[in-house]
Amino acid sequence: GAVVSQHPSRVICKSGTSVKIECRSLDFQATTMFWYRQFPKQSLMLMATSNEGSKATYEQGVEKDKFLINHASLTLSTLTVTSAHPEDSSFYICSAWGDSGANVLTFGAGSRLTVL
Amino acid sequence: AQSVTQPDIHITVSEGASLELRCNYSYGATPYLFWYVQSPGQGLQLLLKYFSGDTLVQGIKGFEAEFKRSQSSFNLRKPSVHWSDAAEYFCAVGAGGSQGNLIFGKGTKLSVKP
């Protein structure tokens, strides 16, 4: 079945540093990837949609200069949280949509970011 | 605008009892509907989906859901709950009729009593 790998699963960083999270589709080509953010005990909120080879489309209220998304290949998208602050601490989840044949969205296991 | 409402924040059931998790959606046309389960600190696993056709859909782990257009509902059911079913459950609708861009409800946390 379709598998999406997200790395790292947990990351702790100091305030002001940048953190990169990777999302890989392991056995299919992901034409579209989605990045979600989940606050504790809350639902997932879509941050942005990225299509391979083009600029990401950000949801209203999401700072594109702070959350840099790159989808340079059909199997990899990255989310970089720039100049991270404690309020950026959250659970980030990616999902991928592509030619897996399963015709469903496949989610990664998520990345827990803690900014000290 | 599309939206998803899960009225129950937290439900506790006894192991072996039946379960129904409620989900109501707002969407003008026939929606794409999904139920996902999330264990603590984990990503989401698809339980089942409805795109069209038979309004009663079967999913994994013994779950089923029924699409009722008249009630704008897509409730998740399981006849006998197992302790391993304790998790967070999310209902979602495909935004703009998309199967990829999903709008999630706030989730229902399921606890199972022994």
CA neighbours closer than 13 Å in the CB half-sphere of residue A84: 21
Record: contact B107-A42, CB cut-off 8 A: yes
Say yes or no to pLDDT of B42 above 90: no
Give the three-state DSSP class for A3: coil
Q: Is B45 on the interface with A (CB under 8 A)?
A: yes
State how far the alpha carbon of A64 is from the alpha carbons of A58, A67, A86, in Å: 7, 5, 18
Structure tokens given for A91: 């659970």
Record: contact B42-A110, CB cut-off 8 A: yes
Higher local confidence (pLDDT), B38 or B28: B38
Determine the pLDDT at residue A111: 95
Nearest CB partner across the interface for B104, out of A4, A44, A49:
A44
Q: Is B47 on the interface with A (CB under 8 A)?
A: no
Determine the pLDDT at residue A103: 61
Rg (CA), chain A: 13
For the stretch B26-55, what's the b/e string if a residue is b when 16 or more beta carbons lie within 10 angstroms of its beta carbon? ebeeebbbbbbbbeeebbbbbbbbbeeeee
Distance (Å, whole) CA A17 – CA A20 = 10
Span B74-88, pLDDT tens digits: 999 999 999 999 999
Please tell me which of A24-33, B28-37, B60-69 the model is most confident about, judged by mean pLDDT: B60-69
From the list B38, B32, B46, B48, the residue with the least C-alpha distance to B86 is: B38
Distance (Å, whole) CA A73 – CA A94 = 15
Nearest CB partner across the interface for A110, out of B43, B90, B105:
B43
Q: What is the DSSP string of B37-55?
A: EE-TT--EEEEEEE-SS-S
Distance (Å, whole) CA A94 – CA A21 = 9
Q: Determine contact, residues B76/B35, Cβ cutoff 8 Å.
A: yes
Span A24-49, pLDDT tens digits: 999 888 888 999 999 877 788 999 99
Residue A109's H or E segment, with its range, is none
Classify residue A54 by its DSSP letter. S
The residue in chain B having the minimum alpha-carbon distance to the alpha carbon of residue A93 is B43
Rounded to the nearest integer, the mean pLDDT of chain A is 90
